[in-house]
C-alpha cells in the first residue's frame, strides 16, 4: 500500500523515480510526488491524482539531482490532496521524506512538537514524522545518522517504510522499515530502493531486503549499504537475487494487466506444479514443508487465514483438505482472527494465504499464532516478502508478478498449491483412495491446457453477456460445495472493478433471504456442474426463474439439459469436482473484466483500492 522509490547514484534521479512510480502505481494512486536534491536545494513536486499527471506536470521543469525519493499514495491520514501528497518537508527544510504505513502515536508526537512551536501544514502523519526526525536531530549532540535515526524511531509507534533525503548530506538516502517492506537494489555505483521489486528489477536483480526494525544508509560512494538495527545489533545483510524479468511486469500487448494475468493462468498453474509432481509412482513432493511434516501430521486441525481473494482460496482449501486428508480445517478472516483471542496453542498449524505476502492482517494473524506456539506456514506468491520470511516453512505459488489490483492468476495458483498440499497430506496419511489420488494428479497435469482452452472458448461469449451487464445494478452469484467460494470470488471480482453490487451465496441459502432481491430480469449466475450437487442446484435455478431472475449457468460441457433451465450457458470442460473451481472461476473473471471495461472503469486501478494492503 503506497509505493516508495528512492535513488542515489550517478544518473539524474527524476526520470528513474517517475518510471519506478509508474511500476508501483498499483500500490496506491490517490496522489504522487517526488523530491530530488541538487546543490543544497530540494526540488519537490507533488499533487493529487495519478503518476501520469505528476509526470506531465514536471515536463519541462527543473528537477535536478542524482538522489531522490518518490511516492504514490493510498490515503490513510488526510484526504488525497496536493498538500497531503508526499514527500513532506521538515520544519527546518532539512529533510524530505516519503512514508508508507501509519504512525500510530502521531497525535502524541504532534502535540509534543507543537509545544516546541513546530506546526504542520498538512493533515498527514508523514509530515509529523519528518518534523519529528528533524527535531530529534536538532536535540542530538551527534552528527551520526545511525544514532539520530535510532533515537527518533525509538519514539515512533506504528508501521512504516520510510525513505528520506537530507539537504546538507548530498547523495545520502536513508531508509527505515518496520512492517512495511523495503528492498534495496544494488547497482554499479548506484542504489535504487523501493517498496516493491517491480521498481527495482529494470535496473538490477541483486537486492537486499530490509528486515523488521532495520534502517539503511545509502550513498553512491559506499560499496555496500550500511544496514543497522533500530533496536538490536546490526547484521551483515544477505544479497538475494530476484528471478522475475522485466517482461513479466509489463503489459506485453494486452490493454490491461488484469487481462494479461487472466491469460497467464495456464503458465501460472504450470509453474506452481513444476518440480512438485513425480511420476511412477505418481506423487506430490513439497520441499518447502518437508522439514515440518511431522508437526503438520500431528496437528489436530489446520487453520487457514487470509483476506479477500486469498480467503476465498482458503475456503476451497477447506473443502479439499477435509475431503482428501480428513483433518478438520478452520478458515478465518485474518483481520477477525487476530483480534478475537483465538484458541491456538502449540499443536496447531496456521497457514497464511497471501499473494503479496505483505497483507498486514494476515501477517499479524500469523505472528499471533507463532507467539502462541503454533507452527506457521505461508502460501505466498512474492518471493522474499514478509510472510515467507517470517513463517517457519511454506509453499510458493510461483504465479509470477501480479500487477492488476484484482487478483486472478494468484487465485488459481493458490488453488493449485492447496490441491497439491491436500494430495500430499492425503497420500502420507493414507486418507485418500489411491485411484482418486492418481486421477486427481493426472487431471491436475492437464489443467494448464484446459484453462487455456476455456479462456479461448469463453472469451467472446462472456463479452456478449457483459454487454448486458453494463447497466445492471445487482447481481447474485450462487454455487455449492467446492463452488460456493467461487461464487464469492465472482461477486468480489465484479464489485471491485465494475462497482456493480454483487453478492455470492451458497445456492441453498438463497431462499433464506437473498431470494427477496430477485425481480424481473435480475442476473443470477449459477455454477451448476454435473457433480454431486447437480440436482440440488437445478432446484435452486427453478426458484430463481420462478421469480423472474435471469439465469446464467456455468455448466459442464455436454450437459444439454441445463439449457432448458438457464437463459445463457457457459460451458467448462468436465473435471473432477475438487479441481473444478480452477475452471469455473475463469468465466467469472472474464465477466468482471469485460463489464468493467464496457462501463469505462479503470480495471487495473479500481477506485479506493490498492494491491497490497499493508495497513490494518
Ligand atoms: C481481490 C484482491 C484482494 C486480495 C486481498 C489479500 O481481487 O486482490 O481481495 O486478495 O487484499 O491480498 P493478499 O493475497 O496479497 O494477501
pLDDT digits (tens, 9 = 90+) for 294-306: 999 999 999 999 9
Residues with Cβ within 8 Å of 239's Cβ and at least 6 positions away in sequence, in order, are 186, 206, 207, 208
> CA-to-CA distance for 440 and 425, rounded, in angstroms?
14
For residue 189, the number of C-alpha atoms closer than 13 Å in the C-beta half-sphere is 4
Ligand 1 centroid, distance to 610 Cα (angstroms): 9
Of residues 2, 272, 307, 601, which has the active-site annotation? 2
Q: What is the pLDDT of residues 44-88, one digit of tens each?
A: 999 988 888 898 988 888 888 999 999 987 766 667 788 888 999
Q: Which of 245-254, 353-362, 376-385, 582-591 has the lowest mean pLDDT?
A: 245-254
What are the strands, taking DSSP E only, across 147-203? 158-166, 173-178, 183-186, 191-194
| CA 321 vs CA 148, 220, 395, 427, 581: distances in Å | 51, 51, 15, 12, 14
Q: Which of 380-389, 409-418, 486-495, 561-570 has the lowest mean pLDDT?
A: 380-389
62/578: higher pLDDT: 578
**DSSP character string of 120-131:** -SSS-HHHHHHH
Residue 252: band (very low, low, confident or very high) from pLDDT cuts 50, 70, 90 = confident
Ligand 1 centroid, distance to 313 Cα (angstroms): 10
Q: What is the mean pLDDT of the chain?
A: 92
Q: Which residue's CA is the nearest one to ligand 1's atom 10?
A: 309
**pLDDT value at residue 40:** 92
pLDDT at 12 > cutoff 90: yes
pLDDT at 612 > cutoff 80: no
- What are the phi and psi torsion angles at 594 (to 5°)? -65, -40
- What are the phi and psi torsion angles at 268 (to 5°)? -60, -40
Q: Is 2 a catalytic residue?
A: yes
pLDDT at 180 > cutoff 90: no
**pLDDT value at residue 322:** 98
Q: Which residues pair with 353 in a beta bridge?
A: 379
Mean pLDDT of 122-143: 93
Q: pTM for the whole thing?
A: 0.81
Q: Is 611 a catalytic residue?
A: yes
**pLDDT value at residue 611:** 61
Q: Which atom of ligand 1 is nearest to the CA of 613?
A: 11
For residue 324, count other CB atoms closer than 10 A to its CB.
24
Residue 158: band (very low, low, confident or very high) from pLDDT cuts 50, 70, 90 = confident
Ligand 1 centroid, distance to 407 Cα (angstroms): 6
- Calculate what percentage of the chain has a pLDDT beyond 70: 97
Judge whether 33 and 70 are in contact, CB under 8 Å: yes
Ligand 1 centroid, distance to 8 Cα (angstroms): 32
Of residues 46, 50, 493, 611, which has the active-site annotation? 611
Q: What is the pLDDT of residues 170-179, one digit of tens each?
A: 999 999 999 8
Judge whether 31 and 49 are in contact, CB under 8 Å: yes
Judge whether 132 and 113 are in contact, CB under 8 Å: yes
Mean pLDDT of 84-98: 95
Judge whether 555 and 572 are in contact, CB under 8 Å: yes
**pLDDT value at residue 76:** 66
> CA-to-CA distance for 469 and 127, rounded, in angstroms?
44
Judge whether 594 and 462 are in contact, CB under 8 Å: yes
CA 5 to chain centroid? 18
**pLDDT value at residue 28:** 67
Q: Which of 76-80, 136-140, 311-315 has the lowest mean pLDDT?
A: 76-80
**pLDDT value at residue 558:** 95
**pLDDT value at residue 615:** 58
**pLDDT value at residue 1:** 61
Mean pLDDT of 83-100: 94
**pLDDT value at residue 77:** 65
**pLDDT value at residue 448:** 97
| CA 24 vs CA 5, 122, 235, 240, 325: distances in Å | 8, 24, 28, 21, 40
**pLDDT value at residue 242:** 86
Q: What is the pLDDT of residues 503-514, one digit of tens each?
A: 999 988 888 887
For residue 508, count other CB atoms closer than 10 A to its CB.
16
| Pairing verdict, β 95-103 and 67-73 | unpaired
- Of 44, 260, 278, 276, the residue nearest 164 (C-alpha): 44
Q: Which residues line ligand 1 (CB under 6 A)?
A: 307-310, 354-356, 359, 362, 406-407, 492, 496, 612-613
pLDDT at 474 > cutoff 90: yes
What are the strands, taking DSSP E only, across 39-124? 41-48, 67-73, 88-89, 95-103
**pLDDT value at residue 514:** 78
Residue 610: band (very low, low, confident or very high) from pLDDT cuts 50, 70, 90 = low
Ligand 1 centroid, distance to 299 Cα (angstroms): 27
Q: Which atom of ligand 1 is nearest to the CA of 382?
A: 15
> CA-to-CA distance for 124 and 117, rounded, in angstroms?
18
Rg (CA), the chain: 25
> CA-to-CA distance for 232 and 211, rounded, in angstroms?
12
**pLDDT value at residue 23:** 85
What is the layout of strands, in order, in the sheet containing 523-528?
A: 501-506, 474-479, 523-528, 550-556, 568-572
Mean pLDDT of 176-201: 92
| CA 317 vs CA 52, 147, 342: distances in Å | 40, 48, 20
Segment (H or E) for 229? strand 226-229
Residues with Cβ within 8 Å of 439's Cβ and at least 6 positions away in sequence, in order, are 576
Q: How many residues does the chain have?
A: 616
Segment (H or E) for 215? strand 214-218
Judge whether 9 and 187 are in contact, CB under 8 Å: yes
Mean pLDDT of 115-131: 94
- Of 521, 556, 526, 557, the residue nearest 542 (C-alpha): 526
What are the strands, taking DSSP E only, across 334-374? 349-354
Q: Which residue's CA is the nearest one to ligand 1's atom 3?
A: 308
Mean pLDDT of 228-243: 85
> CA-to-CA distance for 275 and 349, rounded, in angstroms?
25
The dihedral over CA atoms of 159, 163, 165, 166, expressed in degrees to the nearest 10, equals 30
Residues with Cβ within 8 Å of 392's Cβ and at least 6 positions away in sequence, in order, are 292, 370, 375, 376, 377
Amino acid at each position: 500500500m503506497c509505493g516508495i522509490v528512492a535513488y542515489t547514484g550517478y544518473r539524474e534521479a527524476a526520470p528513474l523515480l517517475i518510471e519506478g512510480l509508474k511500476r508501483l502505481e498499483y500500490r496506491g494512486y490517490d496522489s504522487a510526488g517526488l523530491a530530488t536534491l541538487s546543490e543544497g536545494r530540494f526540488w519537490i513536486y507533488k499533487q493529487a491524482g495519478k503518476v501520469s499527471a505528476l509526470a506531465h506536470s514536471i515536463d519541462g521543469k527543473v528537477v535536478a539531482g542524482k538522489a531522490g525519493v518518490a511516492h504514490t499514495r493510498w490515503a490513510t491520514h488526510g484526504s488525497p490532496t496536493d498538500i497531503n501528497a508526499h514527500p513532506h518537508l521538515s520544519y527546518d527544510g532539512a529533510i524530505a521524506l516519503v512514508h508508507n504505513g501509519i504512525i500510530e502515536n502521531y497525535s502524541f508526537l504532534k502535540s509534543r512538537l507543537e509545544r516546541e512551536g513546530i506546526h504542520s501544514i498538512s493533515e498527514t502523519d508523514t509530515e509529523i514524522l519528518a518534523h519529528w526526525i528533524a527535531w530529534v536531530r536538532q536535540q542530538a549532540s551527534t552528527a551520526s545518522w545511525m544514532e539520530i535515526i535510532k533515537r527518533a524511531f525509538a519514539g515512533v509507534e506504528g508501521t512504516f517504510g520510510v525513505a528520506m533525503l537530507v539537504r546538507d548530506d548530498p547523495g545520502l538516502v536513508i531508509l527505515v522499515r518496520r512492517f512495511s517492506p523495503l528492498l534495496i537494489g544494488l547497482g554499479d555505483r548506484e542504489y535504487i530502493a523501493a517498496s516493491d521489486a517491480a521498481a527495482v528489477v529494470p535496473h538490477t536483480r541483486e537486492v537486499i531486503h530490509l528486515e523488521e526494525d532495520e534502517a539503511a544508509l545509502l550513498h553512491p560512494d559506499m560499496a555496500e549499504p550500511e544496514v543497522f538495527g533500530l533496536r538490536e545489533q546490526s547484521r551483515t545483510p544477505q544479497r538475494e537475487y530476484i528471478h522475475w524479468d522485466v517482461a513479466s511486469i509489463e503489459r506485453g500487448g494486452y490493454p490491461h494487466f488484469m487481462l494479461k494475468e487472466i491469460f497467464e493462468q495456464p503458465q501460472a498453474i504450470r509453474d506452481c506444479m513444476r518440480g512438485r509432481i513425480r511420476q511412477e509412482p505418481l506423487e506430490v513432493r513439497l520441499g518447502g514443508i518437508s522439514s515440518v511434516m511431522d508437526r503438520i501430521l500431528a496437528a489436530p486441525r489446520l487453520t487457514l487465514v487470509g483476506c479477500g481473494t486469498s480467503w476465498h482460496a482458503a475456503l476451497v482449501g477447506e473443502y479439499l483438505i477435509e475431503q482428501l486428508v480428513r483433518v478438520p480445517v478452520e478458515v478465518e478472516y485474518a483481520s477477525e482472527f487476530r483480534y478475537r483471542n483465538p484458541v491456538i496453542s502449540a499443536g496447531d498449524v496456521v497457514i497464511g494465504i497471501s499473494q503479496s505476502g505483505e497483507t498486514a492482517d494476515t501477517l499479524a494473524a500469523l505472528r499471533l499464532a507463532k507467539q502462541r506456539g503454533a507452527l506457521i506456514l505461508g502460501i505466498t506468491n512474492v518471493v522474499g516478502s514478509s510472510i515467507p520470511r517470517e513463517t517457519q516453512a511454506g509453499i510458493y505459488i510461483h504465479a509470477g508478478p501480479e500487477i492488476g489490483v484484482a487478483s486472478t492468476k494468484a487465485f488459481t495458483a493458490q488453488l493449485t498449491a492447496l490441491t497439491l498440499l491436500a494430495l500430499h497430506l492425503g497420500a502420507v496419511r493414507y486418507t485418500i483412495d489411491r485411484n482418486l489420488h492418481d486421477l486427481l494428479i493426472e487431471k491436475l497435469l492437464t489443467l494448464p491446457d484446459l484453462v487455456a482452452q476455456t479462456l479461448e472458448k469463453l472469451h467472446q461469449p462472456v463479452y456478449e453477456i457483459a454487454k448486458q451487464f453494463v447497466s445492471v445494478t445487482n447481481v447474485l452469484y450462487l454455487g455449492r460445495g467446492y463452488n460456493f467460494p467461487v461464487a464469492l470470488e465472482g461477486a468480489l471480482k465484479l464489485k471491485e472493478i465494475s462497482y456493480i453490487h454483487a453478492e455470492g451465496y451458497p445456492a441453498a441459502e438463497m431462499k433464506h433471504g437473498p431470494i427477496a432481491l430477485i425481480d424481473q430480469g435480475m442476473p443470477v449466475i449459477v455454477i451448476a456442474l454435473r457433480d454431486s450437487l447437480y440436482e440440488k442446484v437445478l432446484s435452486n435455478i427453478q426458484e430463481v426463474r420462478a421469480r423472474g431472475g435471469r439465469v446464467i449457468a456455468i455448466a459442464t460441457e455436454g450437459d444439454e439439459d441445463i439449457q432448458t433451465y438457464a437463459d445463457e450457458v457457459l460451458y467448462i470442460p468436465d473435471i473432477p469436482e475438487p479441481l473444478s473451481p480452477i475452471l469455473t472461476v475463469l468465466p467469472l473473471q472474464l465477466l468482471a473484466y469485460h463489464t468493467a471495461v464496457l462501463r469505462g472503469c479503470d480495471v487495473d486501478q479500481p477506485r479506493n483500492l490498492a494491491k497490497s494492503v499493508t495497513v490494518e
